Amino acid sequence: MKSIQTELADRIVKALQSIGLDGDPLVFPSQDSKFGDYQSNCAMGLGKKAARKPRELAEEIVSRLQIDDISEPPQIAGPGFINFRIKPAFLSAILADIPPGSDPERARLGIEAAASPEVVVVDLSSPNLAKEMHVGHLRSTVIGDCVARCLEFMGHTVHRDNHVGDWGTQFGMLVAHLRHVRPDVADNPSQLVIHDLETFYIEAKSRFDEDEEFKKESRETVVALQQADPQTRLIWKAFCDESLRHCHAIYDRLKVDLVDRGESFYADLMHEVVRRLEILRGEDDSPVRISDGALCVFLDGFTTRDGDPLPVIVRKADGGFNYASSDLATILHRVEQLGATRIIYVVGLPQKQHFEMVFAAARKVGWVSEDVSMVHLGFGSMLSATGKPFKTREGGTVKLKDLLDEAVAKARKVVESQLDDDKGGDRAFTKEEMDHIAETVGLAAVKYFDLSHSLAGDYKFDLSTMLSLEGNTAPYMLYAYARIRSIARKADVDFAGLPTDVGISLDHPAEVALALKLLQFGDTLGTVVRDYRLNLLTEYLFELAKTFSRFYDKKIGVRIVDASPESVRNSRLRLCDLTARTLKLGLHLLGIETLDRM
Phi, psi at 231, each rounded to 5°: -70, -40
What is the domain partition of the chain in residue ranges? 4-86, 170-261, 265-376, 400-589
Running DSSP on this structure, what letter comes out for residue 303?
A: B
Identify the CA nearest to 36 among candidates 26, 28, 44, 48.
Answer: 28
Mean pLDDT of the chain: 93
State pLDDT tens for residues 515-550. 999 999 999 999 999 999 999 999 999 999 999 999
C-beta separation of 130 from 239 below 8 A? no
C-beta separation of 181 from 207 below 8 A? no
Cβ neighbours of residue 188 under 8 Å, at least 6 residues apart?
A: none
**pTM: predicted TM-score of the whole model, two decimal places:** 0.93
**CATH top-level class of 400-589:** mainly alpha
> What pLDDT is recorded for position 388?
87
Q: Which value, in Å, is the radius of gyration of the alpha carbons in the chain?
A: 29
C-beta separation of 585 from 524 below 8 A? no
State pLDDT tens for residues 557-575. 999 999 999 999 999 999 9
The helix (H) or strand (E) run that includes residue 460 is: strand 459-460
For residue 424, pLDDT over 60 is answered with no
**CATH top-level class of 4-86:** alpha beta
pLDDT band at 428 (very low <50, low <70, confident <90, very high): confident
Mean pLDDT over residues 254-264, rounded?
A: 95
Torsion of CA 237, 241, 242, 247, to 10 degrees: 140
Longest CA–CA separation in the chain, Å? 87
pLDDT band at 100 (very low <50, low <70, confident <90, very high): confident
The beta strands (E) that lie in 232-351 are given as: 259-260, 288-291, 294-297, 312-315, 342-345
Mean pLDDT over residues 59-81, rounded?
A: 95
For residue 5, pLDDT over 60 is answered with yes
For residue 103, pLDDT over 70 is answered with no
> What pLDDT is recorded for position 105?
65
For residue 418, pLDDT over 90 is answered with no
State pLDDT tens for residues 104-115. 666 789 899 999
pLDDT band at 478 (very low <50, low <70, confident <90, very high): very high
User: What string of DSSP letters covers 548-573?
Assistant: HHHHH-TTTS---TT-SSHHHHHHHH
289: which strand partners?
296
Q: Which amino acid is at 125?
A: S
pLDDT band at 131 (very low <50, low <70, confident <90, very high): confident
C-beta separation of 448 from 590 below 8 A? yes
For residue 299, pLDDT over 70 is answered with yes
> What pLDDT is recorded for position 422?
59
Q: Which amino acid is at 451?
A: L
The order of strands in the sheet holding 288-291 is 288-291, 294-297, 312-315
The order of strands in the sheet holding 75-77 is 27-29, 38-40, 81-84, 75-77
CATH of domain 265-376: 3.40.50.620
